[in-house]
Amino acid sequence: MLAELLVAGICLAASSRADREVPLSSVIDNNRAIPFDVDPLLCATRTIHDYMYPGSHGYFFSWEEPGTAKLELDWSEAREFCRARCMELVSLETKRENKFIKDRLVKGRQKYMWTSGRKCTFSGCDRPDLKPVNVFGWFWTGSLQKMAPTTNRVDTDWSDRGGFGRPQPDNREKLQGGPEEECLAILNNFFGDGPRWHDIACKHRKPFACEESDTLLASVSQANKYMIQP
């Protein structure tokens, strides 16, 4: 019963917020990469390693926790890990947040990490406003916010280099006969330009950072209140 209430509450809250803020929310909500599996106990005991500033969301860095220091997951697994704890893979929506996370990655001497960034390649993403998808189809799954077009090199942090020697995102694996590069990772100085954004096939395994989710925390709180009412 609790699990059903959590799913219903979370879906309602996410849909309500997304309908106001993100035109492609219905596409995202109907094509989630992983099922909802929020664990109230893990939410209540979630580990927070730092805050960007007082009152901000708390952040978890997999490489800083003894139990997960060596853990590397694919993108969907990392997202599931975060969501079970009422968190999301981190969304780098401001330059301040982007620098905060990148500094933590460098300090931890990590080669790379997952973010919540995703390319809209689901059923329903064939809308004119999302074309071409490699330019206009990127969004943050953690906040359901669209990113600036990838051609905007001021408000994004895509690397100007990659395996093809081309600016990111370049969908290199797909062009070489492999899977679509649908997920956004930070690679730490792979091409001599410091920690920068790269499109990566979601199957690869990497450490990750989680960010507290107001929506998931509120949904768990609402479900718990309902369960203790007489």
Residue 8 has pLDDT above 50, yes or no: no
Number of structural domains found in the chain: 1
**Within a domain: residue 18?**
no
Q: Is residue 17 part of a domain?
A: no
How confident is the prediction for the chain on average, in pLDDT? 86
Residues 6+ apart with CB under 8 A from 43: 84, 85, 86, 216, 217, 220
The reply to whether 5 falls in a domain is no
Q: What percent of the chain has pLDDT over 90?
A: 75
4-8, 145-149, 153-157, 217-221 — which is least confidently predicted?
4-8
19 belongs to a structural domain: no
Domain extent at residue 74: 24-213
In a domain, residue 226? The reply is no
Residue 31 lies in a domain: yes
Question: For residue 122, what pLDDT is reported?
Answer: 87
**CATH of residue 121:** 3.10.100.10
**Residue 208 predicted with pLDDT over 70:** yes
User: For position 36, what pLDDT does the model report?
Assistant: 56
pTM of the model: 0.83
Burial letters for 76-111: b for 16+ Cβ neighbours within 10 Å, e otherwise? ebbbbbbbbbbbbbbbbbeeebbebbbebbeebebe
Mean pLDDT value of segment 178-196: 97
pLDDT for the residue 224? 66
**For 128-153, what is each residue's pLDDT tens digit?**
999 999 999 999 999 999 999 999 99
